Copies of this chain bind each other. A is one copy, B any other.
Amino acid sequence: MALSEPFIKNHDCADCPIRHRAVCARCETDELRELEEMKFYRTFEAGQTVIWSGDRMDFVASVVEGIATLSQTMEDGRTQMVGLLLPSDFVGRPGREIAAYDVIATTTLTMCCFRKKPFEEMMAHTPHIGQRLLEMTLDELDAAREWMLLLGRKTAREKIASLLAIIARRDASLKLATTRRKIVFDLPLTREAMADYLGLTLETVSRQISALKRDGVIVLEGKRHVTVPDFDRLLGETGDDADGGLPT
């Protein structure tokens, strides 16, 4: 395993890109100062494993930059992604010693880490953290349930369209964008990672992407660069109702 940068300068919390969305979002200045003292940054290269399921995990963390995946693997190698970790998402469960999932960096990844013990102690006397974590966990639960509908009931084509819509939406919100006109983004996942996300094989993913391309729902340049000429058309392919099926 490549040695990850040992010298990483911490952001100042005030400048932190995820300051108002992460687990610390509700913290006051003094609480932030307390967190600031205990935090430490870690970075991982694309493809590196952050944690193996079953490993002892002595920290919790927020994703600051980059993308990671949360996944489960069966004995015979079948794997299912169960979470996609984007900036501001939280990793680790207070009160749990042992990681339940594999966490793998998909891109270069920077995490803002806290040793578990001190973090838990701070949680005990800082309601803002627990409140925010509850809110975030409820959101994740909603996302997981949306995902369950996808896994259990959607066709391969609908699955791909849904994934593209999710990525497109996220990218759009990130670039505070022009949701109305055509959307352009790069797929952050390999075909295999998409397959693990969607409960498909990579061949099926490839075929369905080709089909969507052939049908003009998307335009591809290279393997990863996607243009969606008509977002509503894409939404129509997801199987969800008009608004995109997000829990209301």
Contacts and interface: CB of A to CB of B under 8 A. Distances in A.
Interface of A: 54, 70, 72, 74-76, 78-80, 82-83, 93, 95, 98, 100-101, 127, 130-131, 133-135, 137-138, 140-142, 144-149, 151-153, 198-199, 239-241, 247-248
Contacts of A199: 151-153
Contact of A151 (B98, B131, B152, B247): B152
Contacts of A98: 248
A141 to B, nearest CB: 5
Greatest chain B CB density within 10 A among A93, A98, A241 is at A93
Contacts of A72: 145-146, 149
Contact of A148 (B93, B130, B147, B248): B147
A145 B83 contact: yes
A145 B142 contact: no
Contact of A95 (B101, B135, B151): B135
A73 to B, nearest CB: 9
A134 B138 CA distance: 9
A37 B145 CA distance: 33
A148 B151 contact: yes
A153 B75 contact: no
A132 B231 CA distance: 41
Greatest chain B CB density within 10 A among A80, A145, A152 is at A152
B140 A141 contact: yes
A243 to B, nearest CB: 11
Contacts of A198: 152
Nearest to A144: B144
A153 B100 contact: no
A51 to B, nearest CB: 13
Contact of A74 (B74, B148, B239, B248): B239
Greatest chain B CB density within 10 A among A54, A140, A198 is at A140
